[in-house]
């Protein structure tokens, strides 16, 4: 009986640890997109234009190489060179327009950051119907 109790306790610990690490990973992924959204806004306020590449956001991300490398590698897709005034005139506005997303989102779903900085977990089907920001042409 004691062995069964110990086994149950150990199994419960594994489930808790596994669940927590999965939750921790989700929180980190969400946080990365949130930071990208905030950095994009800060850059825009300073430069009066959208950033054109990950390195434009480096100072606003405190040179966080993890986040910068996610963008550089394409693991996180960011729509560069957008105009906030143009996005605000779109039917969806900034609250419903995609600014960036995890690379797997179009096929598998995942996290998306909207122009207003909100991060949501969406399915691949939901993503297909979401309006995406359009880069401003020079």
What is the per-residue pLDDT across 34-90, written as a single tens digit (0 to 9) for each?
A: 999 999 999 999 999 999 999 999 999 999 999 999 999 999 999 999 999 988 888
pTM, whole model, 2 decimals? 0.82
What is the per-residue pLDDT across 53-62, written as a single tens digit (0 to 9) for each?
A: 999 999 999 9
Phi and psi at 11, nearest 5°, equal -65, -40
CA–CA separation, 57 and 69 (whole Å): 12
What DSSP string describes 13-50? Answer: HHHHHHHHHHHHHHHHHHHHHHHHHHHHHHHHHHHSS-
């Amino acid at each position: 009986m004691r062995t069964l109790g110990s086994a149950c306790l150990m199994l419960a610990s594994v489930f808790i640890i596994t669940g927590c690490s999965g939750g921790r990973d989700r929180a980190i992924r969400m946080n990365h997109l949130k930071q990208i959204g905030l950095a994009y806004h800060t850059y825009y306020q300073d430069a009066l234009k959208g950033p054109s590449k990950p390195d434009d956001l480096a100072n606003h991300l405190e040179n966080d190489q993890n986040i910068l490398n996610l963008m550089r590698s394409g693991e996180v897709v960011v729509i560069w060179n957008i105009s906030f005034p143009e996005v605000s005139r779109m039917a969806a506005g900034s609250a419903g327009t995609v600014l960036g997303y995890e690379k797997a989102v179009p096929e598998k779903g995942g996290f998306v950051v909207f122009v207003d900085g909100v991060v949501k977990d969406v399915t691949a089907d939901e993503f297909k119907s979401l309006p995406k920001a359009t880069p401003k042409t020079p």
